[in-house]
Structure 1
C-alpha cells in the first residue's frame, strides 16, 4: 500500500506543481511528501522532478510515468467504487468546492444533515469564487455558477440564476443613474470587478435590443471575493454585477437598487459538476443526489420570497 501512496503523492505533486501544495492536499507534511517522491525515484532508478529552491518541474521520465500513474490510480478508484457500490456503508473523504455565496448560503448549512445520514463520509468543503479545475485540484464534485468550459465533465443542473447590476442609493445620488451598458462606459461609472490573477481584460456581457454585447467597464476596485464586492457596493463605492439571491435582502431593504436595467446581465445556471467515470464513486453519487434537490428547493424558496 505504501508504494501506491507514493504514486498517489507523485500524481498530486505533478498536477499541482508544488510539493507543499500536494502535501496540504493529502493532509501530510511536506517532508513526508518529499520522502515518498524520493522512495519512488529510488525504486524506479530515475529522477521524476528537477528541484530548485524556487521551482519544481517534471523530468521527461516524470512526464512518462505520470501517464501510467494516472491510469493506475483511476483503475484502483474504479475498483473501489465498484466494490462500494454493492455495500451499504460508503466511506472516505469527499472533496467539494462551491462559490462563496452559494457555499455559505446553501451548501454549508446542509452538510451536517448529510454527514448525519452518512456518518462514514468526511466532507471537505472549499469555498472560492475563482474557477475550479476538478482534476488539478483533486475534487470530487463542484457547484458552479455559469457555463463550464470543460466538456469532459458531467453536469447536473440545479436551477437558473437571475443576475442584475446594482448600486447603493448614495452612489446613484453622487454619480447618476445609468440606463444601460453604454452609459456605464460613456459616463465612466465605477464598476466593481470580480477578477482573478491572470484573467484577461474584463468585460460585462449584457443583453441589448440587438442581442448580447460585451461592455469594457472599468473601476477602481477589483477582487476575487464576491462578498467583498457586495460590501463595497453597500458602501457606495460603485456598481456591482451579482446573482439576485446574493443581494435580495439588500434590495428589499433599499440598501441597493437595480441600475442599467435596459441591458441586464444574462442569467446563469447553478449546477453540479463531476468527472466522467466508468464507476462513479458512490460517495459522489450519494452527495449529488442528496444536495441537488435540497439546494434547488432552498434556492427556489428564497427566490419566491423576493
Structure 2
C-alpha cells in the first residue's frame, strides 16, 4: 500500500513525482480557472445557437439571429445608393454648365471625382493628374483632343485608339524607320521642331539646318500639326510650340519620335463607368487645370 506524502511547507499531498529534488504538489485547478472554462464553453455554445456557425453540405446553420454578412453589405449598398440618388440624378440630368454653376454639386463632384480618378486614371496620369513619362499632364490645360468637360467626357467615353467603334484615332508615322525621310531629313526637321521651343539653339552655325528642317516640316508634318506647328485638336496632333511634351522635348527624344513614330492609347470607359461617373470625372479633370494654373 502506497503511503501518502505530505509536503512539510504547504501541507499539501504530493503526486509522488520528483525532478531534481523538486516534488510536484497535488494542487487542484484554481476555482477561477474552472469558472473561466465553464463560462467560455457556455459562451461558445450560445454563439453556435445565435449565429451562423456549422457548414452542412450545401448550406449552414443560420443561427437564431439570422445574421448574414452578404445581406448586411447589400443593405448598406442600398442605403448608400439612396443617399446618392438626389445628387446623382442632378448630375445625370443637368448640363455641364448648370453643374459647374452649382457650388454644392461641384463640392460633391470634387470629392467623388477624386475617388474615381484614383481608382481609374491615376495609374497612368498620377494621383495628382500631372502625368508621367509617356502619359500627358492633365493639369496644364494643353489638350490633344480639346479641353472642357464636354470634350473630356467624349474622350473618356470613346477612348483613344481603343476598341470603341467611335474611338479617337491618332498615330504619328515612323518617318525614319519606314524610310519616308532619310537620316539627314529626320535630323533637320527635329532640329527645327526643337528650335520652336528653344529659340536660343538657332545660331549662325545651324541656321541652314533649321531652315532645311522647316521645309521638311511644311511638306511632311504640317498636314497634322499645322504650318505654324500649333497642332490640331481634331486629329489629336499636339502643339509643338508651347513646350508641353508627352514623350519629351529634348532633341534626341524628338529625333526618336520622328524616326520611330508614336501611338498613344487610352481605353474606353463607357463599359466600366456609368454616364454620371463619366460626367463627374470630366468635370473633375477639367477642374484640375483650373486649380493648378
TM-score range, shorter chain: under 0.3
Structure number with the higher strand fraction is: 1
Structure number with the higher helix fraction is: 2
TM-score by length of structure 1 reads 0.26
TM-score by length of structure 2 reads 0.26
